[in-house]
Amino acid sequence: MLENLFKLSSNSTSVRTEIVAGFATFLTMAYIIVVNPAILSTEGTGMDFGGVFVATIIAAVIGCLIMGLWANWPIALAPGMGLNAFFAFGVVFGMGYTYQQALTAVFVAGLVFILLSVTPARQWIINSIPKSMKFGVGAGIGLFLAIIGLKNAGVVVDNPATLVGLGDVTSMPVILAAVGFMIMAILDKRGVTGSIIIGILAVSVIAWVMGISSIEGVVGSIPPASHAFSLDFSLIATSGFIGVAFAFLFVDFFDTAGTLTSVANLTGKVDSEGKVDGIGKAVLADSVATTVGALAGTSNTTSYIESGAGVKEGGKTGLTAVTVAVLFAICLFLAPLAQSIPAFATAPALVFVATFFLKNLRDIEWDDVSEYAPAVLAAVLMPLTFSIAHGIALGFIAYVVIKALSGRHEDLNAGSIVIGILSVLYFIA
């Protein structure tokens, strides 16, 4: 049955290889089970840890199953880093939205993503966005995650005179957060699978032993899905809502396209002309997962670049993704353990993941000021305005204006101009 379902022989793989690959992928991304609820349930959002914990796993399980059983790709999905931080700190705290309204924006973004995925518009949009802006937005998300992680760790604190300042680096939470970051970086350098989740658990164990934090248990009953179907469409016709939904869509769309293309190269799904075999189904699976995740009660669900760990272990088919889905489902019973992990244990994970995003800076066209100036502006403004949406909008406005007035108007296409106009409307409408 598995042979017919996943075409194992034609892909030169086996059940054992695919399951091992699934375990490898799961270990590299298992941190999201703890980190996503920690971010979305930050005091003031109105969301509770248990409800987001369940939503995170539901979104991951359904997303992986769709990707595995329908698209037959070895790609795992879960709520994405960066967008969860934007959800909590940018939309709920920064713009004053309720979490129900923010979930609705994610839901709408998912529906638009689905429509784009089944039309030729998908390829047109991908080709329309300047590469430098894609890289700039990616780097900006990294900076956004970094400042949130440093704040949660107590490394960065409020300072009325200088906006931000250095916290008490001699305090135990800050020291343990630093230890966690070092563990993650060292293990990753040594090629240890699951370096992030190992770092989180190591710091948590130290904190429990020292009495800084307490452990409530390991295995327990499944928490209620308290945020499922919590949508609020009251702001759907406002320009602010449209801007937020666009930001969710923009980042998710290009993050997905980048991840799928990268993994496709590893699996040999790219032909001699650069076309990716079956990418349409994979993109559609991702967009459906975002919509389902919003209904479950979490921010955008997206394809994980960590899936590359499974591919390196030999994973080539959807059985890898299905294996990840099963492992996520088992974790539903680990809610007491997840809730026992302190914030300073998850904080270094945010900072470490941020370093991955910042690699995008190297691919910006640094020999052309009309390319790098808008990209850097977008990247810097995301953490400084505490908003991914503001960074994208201001970056694209700068891109269009600089290109048009510096004699490089031939670089502008219809897509970038449209986004520039929409960005202006975002601020004035």
Convert the pLDDT of each residue in 238-263 to its tens digit. Answer: 888 988 898 898 888 877 877 777 77
CA distance 301 to 298: 8
CA distance 114 to 129: 19
What does the pLDDT average to over 417-429?
81
β-partners of residue 301 are 79
Looking at residue 272, its pLDDT comes to: 53
What kind and span of H or E run contains 144?
A: helix 131-153
Looking at residue 274, its pLDDT comes to: 52
pLDDT in tens, 80-91: 888 898 899 989
Q: What is the largest CA-CA distance in the chain?
A: 66
Looking at residue 288, its pLDDT comes to: 93
Cβ neighbors of 349 (< 8 A, separation 6 or more) are: 31, 35, 149, 180, 184, 196, 199, 200
**40 pLDDT band (50/70/90 cuts)?**
very high
What is the separation, in whole angstroms, between the first and last Cα of the chain?
56
Count CB-CB contacts under 10 A for residue 179: 17
pTM to 2 decimal places: 0.84
Domain residue ranges of the chain, discontinuous segments joined by +: 2-428
**Cα-atom radius of gyration of the chain, to the nearest Å?**
21
